[in-house]
Structure 1
């Protein structure tokens, strides 16, 4: 195949996965998992098509576009581009999906160029993309601009470097064995609760979020975009309210996913000041994903991160007894959160590189 024979067309977003026009979207879900398997041996890092579809159908908060590369009738790669919808958002988030079998034929270059063209046409001045890496030392290790962490070079990292991207940050992907003895979690939770004192209390729920908690939850979700360590990645300050929480809840539960939230309320003010989310697909087996975890800056130092993590892990064992592991990503410079993870038994299984290009 030559690049002249390559065709790139928009990814159709179907009304349902069994619709007549849903084949490409189902292929997108399969390719997403295949790439994670090839790159780090963990296909469950990627959501499947059913989990992704509700988000693609609702562009209120984020607009998702996809492009499919074909050699004749055969799909040989895809690229997706996501646009945050805040008025002052500068960045477009890219995910490049080309399997090992098709890498090196120019497909990845053509898809990356298509994504950049789409970002420029929509007025974005920054491209962002994440690469996955095995936890190994090789002859070429890459260090991000934060100087925290290092990752082995891969064909994708070489491509990004050649196209003018800069490695800004390294994130650690860690897993927790849900079948392990819960006693250390229980002890850590009791100790952290005593240290926090009576000004803080635990609140927990399953999505959808109860209406009376949506505004408070919105406030702490908004802080994730500004309070979490992100190096020099250009992240917009997200705007959240109760309606956006309800929309997000609908997207997450629309595919039958179960989502547990454990939060901490600051009793004197009634504010939600810390939270942790655990998510699993409709089958309720296998890998659980930790989504957001945050302690508001004004309330750090009270062991609240330990409280929300341990309380939700213990709760999860009862809610979803067939789940096996919890997977989470944390910036390498986020030592307070990594210290908690390491203390309660999370272990590193892969890494991610956060790359950025100024257009």
Structure 2
């Protein structure tokens, strides 16, 4: 749940000599009319350029208006942003994200630098800034997600044995030099639309037969219906504990119905809409699985596959396939004409990758999940 809905978190290296830059914390604009809105727009453009550079596609682009709601919910999702400027122009940014629990010692960090301003110390200075903040708040588990474009040469394999990144890539060398260890590799995949209706229906029928009469699929495109808010908060929480995290050992991120409402209210200001498909376990009367698609208003832009989770105790019934096919059909009904759907999965999450591959998703790039443990001071 952390990082991907609001944009990839990257570390960038530096490419030309320039010493006159400033770093300050960005005041997140409450609205597009706030004084800091132009800087936030510049940050969104920076994010999109770096992602397109790493993945070779602009399918992951988000507008500033789409990104803003994710930065306006400090009650449940505290995060800060720092920007580097050269002659008043934003050329790089750093992000610092934590959980609400003051006793948790994790922090999610990231730095992005425009290609024209690399190798002049800006990325290092921003990394130093957020890592210093980690120290002042007594946090010890530092996590970074960064795209690694495919290049020839030796590979660095994740310790779990699934996935690798190019050993000589600039971001890999940068993170290794700062004491980070590669823990996991995530695959970015893309499904061209319109999907093959015959394939979708065949897999959906097969999944429905395996699920049997105990499970029914329900859909919504606005806020979660009140009667299911408590239910949906459970798999939202389980995303932090049940999804594969390799050696990251990410902490539990607790969701409640109130937090869900708060998140959906904040998200209501975004031009995007969320399509949700969820599986109801009829004998218990509770939702036990869900999947979501984040849909931009413009039909020429790609759709983002957000979280998908089946509670552990209800796995083995092909609910993941049932819900993914159902939501793709829902998308075709509610908002046809988009060129593709993009998604991210851990390389060791073979079950979900098999589902995606069967539906026609193909790899578009990879990102490393890195961790650094800072020993506590004695």
* TM bracket (short chain): over 0.9
1:44, CA displacement in angstroms?
Answer: 3.3
CA distance in 1, matches of 2:41, 2:342: 24
Cα deviation for residue 177 of structure 1 reads 1.4
Secondary structure, aligned partner of 1:24? helix
Counterpart of 2:8 in structure 1 is none
Matches within 5 A, 1:79-118: 79-118=94-133
SS in 2 for 1:226: coil
Evaluate the alpha carbon distance shift between residue 284 and residue 250 of structure 1 in structure 2; reply closer, same or farther with a 3 A threshold: farther
Query: Is 2:148 the partner of 1:133?
Result: yes
Q: Is the 8 A contact 1:68 1:75 kept in 2?
A: yes
Q: Post-superposition shift, 1:172?
A: 0.6
2:38 aligned with 1:23: yes
TM-fit CA distance, 1:165: 0.5
Show the counterpart of 1:342: 357
What SS class does the counterpart of residue 262 from structure 2 fall into?
helix
Give the corresponding residue for 1:143. Answer: 157
Is this contact kept in 1: 2:59–2:342, CA < 8 A? no
Match of 1:78 in 2: 93
- Written as runs of structure 1 = structure 2, the 5 A alignment for 1:221-300 is 221-300=236-315
Whether the 8 Å CA contact 2:345–2:352 is kept in 1: the answer is yes
SS of 1:286 mapped into structure 2: coil
The structural deviation recorded for 1:42 is 2.2
Which deviates more, 169-178 or 231-240? 231-240
Contact 1:255 1:282 in 2 (8 A): no
Residues in 1 aligned to 2:156 and 2:58: alpha-carbon distance in whole angstroms: 24
Report if aligned partners of 2:46, 2:91 keep a CA contact under 8 Å in 1.
no
TM-score by length of structure 2 reads 0.91
Is the aligned partner of 1:68 residue 2:93?
no
1:74 CA drift (Å)? 2.9
Shift in Å, 1:3:
7.4
2:281–2:287 CA contact under 8 A, matched in 1: yes
Map 1:175-186; keep pairs closer than 5 Å.
175-186=190-201
Say if 2:190 and 2:363, in contact at 8 Å, map to a contact too.
Answer: yes
The partner residue of 2:181 within 166, 178, 183 is 166
Q: Deviations over 1:257-283 (max 9, x none)?
A: 110110111111112111110002233
* 1:76 aligned counterpart, secondary structure: strand
Residue 120 of structure 1 deviates from its aligned partner by: 1.8
Partner of 2:50: 35
In structure 1, what is the Cα distance between the partners aligned to 2:111 and 2:144?
A: 8
Task: Using the TM superposition, give the Cα deviation of residue 104 of structure 1 relative to its aligned residue in structure 2, in angstroms.
Answer: 1.3
Structure-2 separation of matches of 1:118 and 1:182: 50
Name segments (4+ residues, structure 1) moved above 6 Å. Answer: none
| TM-score (normalised: structure 1) | 0.95
The alignment of Structure 1 onto Structure 2 pairs a total of residues equal to 358
Per the alignment, residue 120 of structure 1 pairs with 135
The separation in 2 between residues aligned to 1:3 and 1:167, in whole angstroms, is 30
| Mapped contact 2:96–2:108 kept (Cα < 8 A) | yes
Gaps of 5+ in 2: 1-15
Match of 2:66 in 1: 51
